[in-house]
Amino acid sequence: MFDLLTTALHELVSTLHQTLLNNQLAQGGLLLGLLGTLAAAARHWPQRLWNGLLSRLTFTLEIDGQDAAFAWLSVWLSTQATSHRMRHMGVATRFNERMGGLNLTLGTDSDGDEINVRLIPLSGASLLRFRGHWLLVQPSREKHQGEGGRMLGYTHTLSLRMLSASRQLIAPLLQTAYESTAGAVSGHTEIYTADYQNWQMSDRRRSRAASSLIYDGALLETLLSDARRFQSDHEWYTEMGIPYRRGYLLHGPPGNGKSSLAASVAGELGLNICVLNLATPELSDERLQALLSNLPRRALLLLEDIDAVFHGRERRSDAVKLSFAGLLNALDGVAAGEGRITFLTTNHPQHLDPALIRPGRTDLHLHLGNATREQVAGMLARFFPQATFPQMTAAQRAHLSGRVGEGAISMAQLQEYLLERRGDPLRAIREWSELEKMQASEFPALLAPPTTDLRELAR
């Protein structure tokens, strides 16, 4: 069989050889075929050669629009001299500041706050120089569609191409972008809300100074001292083998600044805030675990009104998908992240299961009750400082605060009363009896701190 194949192949080669030697038409056809092949290859060789050189000599860094680094680099790039060469830009409101871009101030609103919009690079290319190396910057976006072709927005990416020898620039480039944006001390706090399994910045506001808050006794100083100590004790936690997490429970009647206290602590510590509503119907155990694993860097987690979700270990509504066990595991289970500060707020601490408020999950419990006489006097001094309003003396403030029952009204009620009369201390004095008539009777069980220490319930 092998001999037959060999003989047939030999005869075929011999026939082709004789045909090419004696048949000019065959020779011409072969020559034309070879020339055509060479011409076709020649058209593609430059592109293939160029692509080959690019792949071997350059390095591409790609950043997804959902990543925090995208905002750092976009803002930093917009400050570079070459940013004006980009020819395709988009406009975003201040609620999309995480997208970065060129910030334009249009004026101020009725409250005196700046009205800002941002120009976002959408496509095109720009060549810039960083530390003596050339970088080719290429922003891009693609439509994001859901079922049935429903438009869900755009997916943004940012590509930086550099020579392979410039790869050592990646770390200093990202560090420069971070330090000039998110790492800069700006006096603002970013508010993040859940976007399925990730977080999206929904607002960015001036950090509220702790000195602007008036709480009873040393509550504020106690909380700030504890949180600052936690931040400085990372190595100690590691050496002791203790999970590096800290939890705080703020409890008391509504309208006394539980959320404001958490926001103020975030501002004082240079943290951002991630607010999560546990009653969201789409929030499952798996999604909660993913959200807590994806917390933005340097962020405080705020879980508000947790008693509205669970009564003990039971869900308050069939619409709630989150299980009590899933919540506990997310807070301090084996897979729970470290370095996290968590605030839980509740109006009804007696409705919480002891397992949720034990040490390790909520380490410090703070009661924020209704206004004490000292708080009323402090609010009066804040709204009507004697240097500006000599009509209201310290003696008058003490007299007025003494006329309000201890814990009779919430701080929100007091603030609303004073807001309506700001700039007019004589009216505030004249109509003070209206404030005396206000009572927080709808929350009688919460006018004073619980007689039983919540920690005792957890033992």
Q: Which amino acid is at 190?
A: E
351: nearest Cα among 304, 302, 313: 313
Annotate 5-42 with b (16+ C-beta within 10 A) or e (fewer).
eeeeeeeeeeeeeeeeeeeeeeeeeeeeeeeeeeeeee
Give me the half-sphere count of Cα atoms (radius 13 Å) on the Cβ side of residue 8: 5
Give the integer Cα–Cα distance in Å for 192 and 146: 24
Q: Which amino acid is at 423?
A: G
Q: Could you tell me which CATH class the domain 203-369 is placed in?
A: alpha beta
Whose tokens are 């949720």? That residue is 356
Strand partners, 117: 93, 104
In the chain, the amino acid numbered 170 is I
Q: Hey, what amino acid is at 369?
A: G
Residue in this structure with the two tokens 């060549």, named with its chain if needed: 127
* Amino acid sitting at position 5: L
pLDDT for position 213? 85
Pairing of strands 364-367, 310-311: unpaired
List the pLDDT tens digit at each of the 459 positions of the chain.
656 556 655 665 566 555 555 655 555 555 556 556 656 655 666 666 656 666 667 788 888 877 778 877 877 777 776 656 666 666 665 444 444 455 666 666 665 556 666 666 666 677 788 888 888 888 887 777 666 666 666 777 888 888 877 788 888 888 888 877 766 666 778 888 887 778 887 777 788 787 788 888 889 999 999 999 999 999 999 999 898 999 999 999 999 989 989 998 998 888 889 999 888 888 899 999 888 888 887 889 999 889 889 999 999 888 888 999 999 988 887 667 788 899 999 999 999 999 999 988 899 999 999 999 999 999 999 999 988 998 888 888 889 998 888 888 999 999 999 999 998 999 999 999 888 887 644 444 444 444 334 444 333
Is the torsion defined by CA of 442, 369, 454, 328 positive or negative? positive
- Tell me how far apart the alpha carbons of residues 344 and 252 are, in angstroms, rounded to a whole number: 12
Helix (H) or strand (E) holding 329: helix 324-332
